């Protein structure tokens, strides 16, 4: 019998030897260089750009039903460094316009904006699901209606999750300010004076830093959870164990932040979308930002798929071989003769 490749039979990514990780990274980078991955990322970016403003309208409408809309704009500073300046200004102006509308018109338009957003954004979601199938080398065997409902559910869940994250970002500073009253309510102010002095000192000097970094941390947590759920339930395959999903989700989240910062800096200092595309410069910048972000997500999916394949000793990128479902035998696609 031949010698097993490094990493075969590993119980988790932690137990993957260095040689196995090298093979996984080499395979992942090779797969990302394929034209299919580029086309998938481009398609996702196109549909995401089309769905952006309907999704923002739906988000503002849903958020305004429960929370104060005036708390939305201050939270946009979290995105200022992640987006190109022209793209950020375009999105911020659209949000400002929606917030300036009377609250009644927002609630009346909720049904229409939500329907448009779900229909448009679900097209982007379907392209992402198809791209994940490509990353995992599986065929789409789910029925038409099941696939459509999954795409709509993922889209709606993303909008609701964004609303909850935005609400937490708004409530976090208020919760920090309420901490002294909370300590009094639970009788913790009766502690020894030395401990109370230390507590007050730490809270007074750390509150501004907690508030400053708390909002970005919540946003990153939302992105990490969203990517993790997408990797587990998106591809057409049996649900893998969480330990084979977290590495790709963590890498994708961190790379998304780094590439967003780098792309924003590049557009601000080197590229000139405005002079090239004129009034469409901001839209072109947004589409390129989505393209880079989608590529990063596909990198995480390819990394997870490579880890699983290395653990099973399976070579996934053999021409003509496709895994239809996890645990099933590979099937060979035979092209018909012309």
CA distances from 224 to 55, 196, 214, 251 (A): 20, 36, 15, 9
Q: What is the pLDDT of residue 177?
A: 62
How does residue 318 score in pLDDT terms, banded at 50, 70 and 90?
A: very low
| Torsion angle of the four alpha carbons 128, 133, 136, 138, in this order, in degrees rounded to the nearest 10 | 180
For residue range 120-172, what is the model confidence (pLDDT) as tens digits? 778 888 888 988 888 888 888 888 889 988 988 888 888 788 877 777 776 76
Q: Can you tell me the distance from the alpha carbon of 314 to that of 306, in angstroms, rounded to the nearest whole number?
A: 9
Q: What is the pLDDT of residue 281?
A: 82
Q: Can you tell me the distance from the alpha carbon of 202 to that of 210, in angstroms, rounded to the nearest whole number?
A: 11
Q: What is the pLDDT of residue 328?
A: 43
For residue range 257-280, what is the model confidence (pLDDT) as tens digits? 999 888 888 887 776 777 777 778
How does residue 3 score in pLDDT terms, banded at 50, 70 and 90?
A: low
Q: What is the pLDDT of residue 209?
A: 65
Domain boundaries, the chain: 13-332
Q: Which of 301, 306, 311, 294 is nearest to 259 (CA)?
A: 294
How does residue 229 score in pLDDT terms, banded at 50, 70 and 90?
A: very high
Q: Can you tell me the distance from the alpha carbon of 172 to that of 174, in angstroms, rounded to the nearest whole number?
A: 5
CA distances from 243 to 100, 129, 227, 240, 272 (A): 45, 21, 14, 8, 42
Q: Read off the DSSP letter of residue 13.
A: G
What mean pLDDT comes out for the span 113-118? 70
Q: Can you tell me the distance from the alpha carbon of 177 to that of 171, in angstroms, rounded to the nearest whole number?
A: 10
């Amino acid at each position: 019998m031949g010698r097993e490749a490094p990493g075969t039979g590993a119980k988790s990514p932690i137990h993957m030897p260095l040689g196995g990780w090298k093979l996984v990274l080499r395979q992942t980078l090779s797969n990302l260089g394929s034209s299919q991955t580029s086309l998938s990322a481009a398609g996702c970016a196109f549909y995401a750009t089309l769905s952006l403003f309907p999704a923002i309208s739906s988000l503002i409408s849903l958020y305004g039903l429960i929370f104060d809309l005036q708390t939305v704009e201050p939270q946009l500073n979290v995105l200022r460094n992640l987006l190109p300046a022209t793209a950020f200004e375009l999105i911020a102006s659209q949000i400002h316009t929606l917030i300036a509308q009377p609250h009644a018109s927002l609630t009346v338009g909720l049904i229409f904006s939500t329907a448009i957003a779900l229909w448009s954004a679900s097209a982007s979601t379907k392209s992402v699901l198809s791209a994940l199938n490509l990353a995992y080398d599986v065929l789409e065997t789910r029925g038409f209606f099941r696939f459509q409902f999954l795409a709509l559910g993922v889209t709606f869940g993303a909008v609701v999750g964004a609303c909850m994250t935005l609400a937490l970002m708004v409530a976090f500073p208020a919760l920090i300010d309420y901490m002294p009253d909370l300590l009094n309510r639970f009788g913790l102010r009766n502690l020894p004076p030395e401990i109370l002095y230390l507590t007050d000192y730490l809270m007074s000097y750390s509150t501004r830093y907690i508030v400053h970094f708390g909002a970005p941390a919540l946003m990153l947590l939302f992105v990490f959870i969203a990517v993790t759920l997408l990797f587990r339930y998106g591809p057409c395959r049996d649900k893998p164990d969480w330990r084979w999903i977290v590495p790709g989700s963590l890498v994708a989240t961190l790379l998304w932040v780094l590439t967003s910062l780098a792309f924003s800096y590049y557009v601000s200092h080197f590229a000139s979308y405005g002079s090239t595309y004129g009034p469409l410069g901001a839209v072109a910048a947004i589409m390129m930002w989505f393209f880079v972000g989608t590529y990063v997500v596909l990198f995480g999916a390819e990394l997870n798929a490579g880890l699983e394949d290395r653990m099973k000793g399976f070579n996934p990128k053999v021409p003509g071989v496709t895994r239809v479902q996890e645990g099933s035998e590979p099937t060979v696609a035979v092209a018909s003769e012309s």
